[in-house]
Amino acid sequence: MKKVIVFGMSLMLSWSCNNLTEKSATHQETENHIAHQHDESSEAVELNNGEKWLVNEEMKPFVLKGEKLVNVYIQNNHTDYKALAQQVKDQNSLLIKSCTMDGKSHEELHKWLHPHLEIVKVLENETNETKANETVLHLQHSYREYHEYFN
């Protein structure tokens, strides 16, 4: 059943990525559904025959901005993790809205994106500062993983 849900959500997200005229509310709804329905046993991201996957140029700034927000938060010992979660969530929404990718690279990006969205959701809902700091480190690791698989 989980595979059916994940497949359905992937189709929905794929459709929203290719439909640039959709309202941002639809993208937000899709993002929320993916975060809630994410299956932890989903496949790991794979390289493209040993090489990194290419990401469309119009999408890259949103990943890089999210990563910068997390790194600055950590480096400057910030404590407003709720604000960080919202800022990263905003960048993820812009990333999804700008998506024009398709094919295998698109599928692999979504293998990274689904757990990434889940981490942001956990941070957004966290009430314990210690756990929030651990989640921020998971978010930083997620961006490192992005760079391992994508250019």
Task: Measure the CA–CA gap between 104 and 100, rounded to whole angstroms.
Answer: 13
Q: Looking at the domain assignment, is residue 75 inside a domain?
A: yes
Higher pLDDT, 17 or 34: 17
Q: Mean of the pLDDT values across residues 15-39? A: 41
Name the pLDDT band for 40 (thresholds 50, 70, 90): very low
Q: How many Cβ atoms are within 10 Å of 92's Cβ, its own excluded? A: 21
Task: Read off the pLDDT band of 17 (50, 70, 90).
Answer: low
Domain contains 11: yes
Q: State which residues form the domain around 86.
A: 2-39+55-149
Q: Report if residue 91 sits inside a domain.
A: yes
What crossing angle do the helices spanning 129-149 and 103-125 adopt, rounded to 10°?
170
Decide which of 16 and 122 is more confident: 122
What's the predicted TM-score (pTM) here? 0.73
Confidence of residue 29 (pLDDT cuts 50, 70, 90): very low
Which residues are within 8 A (CB) of 138 and not within 5 positions of it... i.e. 6 or more apart? Answer: 119, 122
Which of 146, 138, 131, 57 has the alpha carbon at shortest distance from 98? 57
Let me know if residue 135 belongs to a domain.
yes
In this model, does residue 22 exceed pLDDT 80? no
CB–CB of 119/135 below 8 Å?
yes
In a domain, 47, yes or no: no
Q: Per-residue pLDDT averaged across 143-148, rounded?
A: 98
Residue 89 lies in a domain: yes
Residue 44: inside a domain: no
In-domain check, residue 113: yes
Domain count, the chain: 1
